[in-house]
Amino acid sequence: MSGAGSCAFQFFFKPTNESRTKSFTTYDLRLTTKMAQLEYKDLLDAGVHFGHLTRKWDPRMAPYIFMEKNGIHIIDLNKTLAALDEASHAIKATVRSGRKVMFVATKKQAQEIVAEEAKRLIMPFVTERWLGGMLTNFATIRKLLKKMSTIEKMLKDETTVSNLAKRERLMMDRERVKLEKLLGGVVDLTRLPAALFVIDVKREHIAVAEAKRLGIPVFAMCDTNSNPALVDYAIPANDDAYKSISIITLAIGKAIEEGLMERKQDKDDARLQEEEDAKRAEDTATVAAAPIEATAPIAAVVDEAATEA
């Protein structure tokens, strides 16, 4: 690590439970317009370097730990930047191929920012509770989504609603609200996602295990108490603070957005190429037919001359 980076660590405060969590809800993202160009100072200001208490660490995170200070581990932000850059390129390639990335974050301080970013990118997300089998038993999840859609249609139909008793209407509405809360983020998911972006590996261990069983790559924020070997792309970062979660999520969101834009550009280029090929084929056919039409009058003249002779 550079000297400047080492000096920067001399000025951080000893974090408390309050400073690690909800106190970051008013965080103002003072970043450049291109989130892909995150700098060391941006991560430092967001508190990405704060790890857990030393007694709670996972030894497998040792390569990503810079030092120990005031009883907590400090994450090496240079390795965070490198891991984030690698993950951004990989997730951009996944999205560019036309596949979906599912966002998973059920902890309270991550729900809002993750849901907003996923909705903006029109990607599936889970922010309430991970239902066991959401990936490995996807057929059942599709049945639940179909059931939710049927209930919504019934409640919107005035004739059907008028024929139902008040108790039945209330029970149906409660079931709709429950399903909407649990599955609202995956209502448009017609097939398994191509990748998962997870905020807390330990908390979302069921989702990570299901993805690993199906061979779905996992991109995840790994704090000092996590096992980075469980995921394909580990991003060492503080996964408890709102500011830290925001800056990493928005960086990943920017990479996904760039992948979507590149896919759209690829489609436009392919359409233009098809139009050019069709026009070229039409021109070639016209040119090929032209000599035949031109020789027809000549043949008629020759025949007429032969007759007169």
Interval 143-165: pLDDT, tens: 999 998 888 888 888 888 888 88
CA distance 74 to 94: 31
Q: Are residues 53 and 176 in the same domain?
A: no
- Compare 18 and 222 and report the one with higher pLDDT: 222
Question: For the residues of 44-113, what is the DSSP string, one character each?
Answer: HHTTTTEEEEGGG--GGGGGGEEEEETTEEEE-HHHHHHHHHHHHHHHHHHHHTT--EEEE--SHHHHHH
Instruction: Write down the pLDDT at residue 36.
Output: 44
Range of the domain at 50: 37-134+192-265
Residue at 117 is within a domain: yes
- Quick one: pLDDT at residue 15? 43
Mean pLDDT, the chain, rounded, equals: 83
Kindly state whether residue 118 falls inside one of the protein's structural domains: yes
Give residue 33's pLDDT band: very low, low, confident or very high (50, 70, 90).
Answer: very low
Q: How many residues does the chain have?
A: 309
Cα distances (angstroms) measured from residue 72 to each of 51, 180, 223: 6, 40, 12
Clarify whether residues 158 and 220 are in a common domain. Answer: no
- 99 with 212, same domain? yes
Residue 307: its pLDDT value, please?
64
Mean pLDDT of 267-292: 80
Res 193: pLDDT: 94
What pLDDT score does 122 carry? 93
Domain with residue 260: its CATH number is 3.40.50.10490
Are the C-beta atoms of residues 248 and 237 closer than 8 Å to each other?
yes
What's the whole-number mean pLDDT along residues 244-270?
92
Q: CB within 8 A of 261, min separation 6: which ones?
A: none
Whether residues 182 and 73 share a domain: the answer is: no
**Do residues 121 and 240 share a domain?**
yes
Torsion on CA atoms 119, 124, 129, 131, rounded to nearest 10 = 160
Q: What pLDDT was estimated at residue 271?
A: 86
Number of domains, the chain: 2
Name the 3-class secondary structure at 216: coil
Indicate whether 122 and 202 sit together in one domain.
Answer: yes
Give the Cα separation of 86 and 161 in Å (integer).
53
Q: What's the pLDDT band for 201 if we cut at 50, 70, 90? A: very high
2 found inside a domain: no
pLDDT number for residue 120: 94
Please tell me whether residues 86 and 52 are part of one structural domain. yes
Q: Tens of pLDDT along 34-75?
A: 444 788 898 999 999 999 998 989 999 999 999 998 889 999
Digit-coded pLDDT (tens) for 219-228: 999 999 999 9
Residues 106 and 230 in one domain: yes
* Statement: residue 78 has pLDDT above 60: yes
Q: Are 69 and 9 in contact (CB under 8 A)?
A: yes
Residues 185 and 211 in one domain: no
In a domain, 228, yes or no: yes
The rounded radius of gyration (Å) of the Cα atoms in the chain is 29
Q: For the residues 200-227, what does the mean pLDDT come to?
A: 94
pLDDT of residue 162: 82
Report yes or no on 159 lying in a domain.
yes
The answer to the question of residue 27 being in a domain is: no
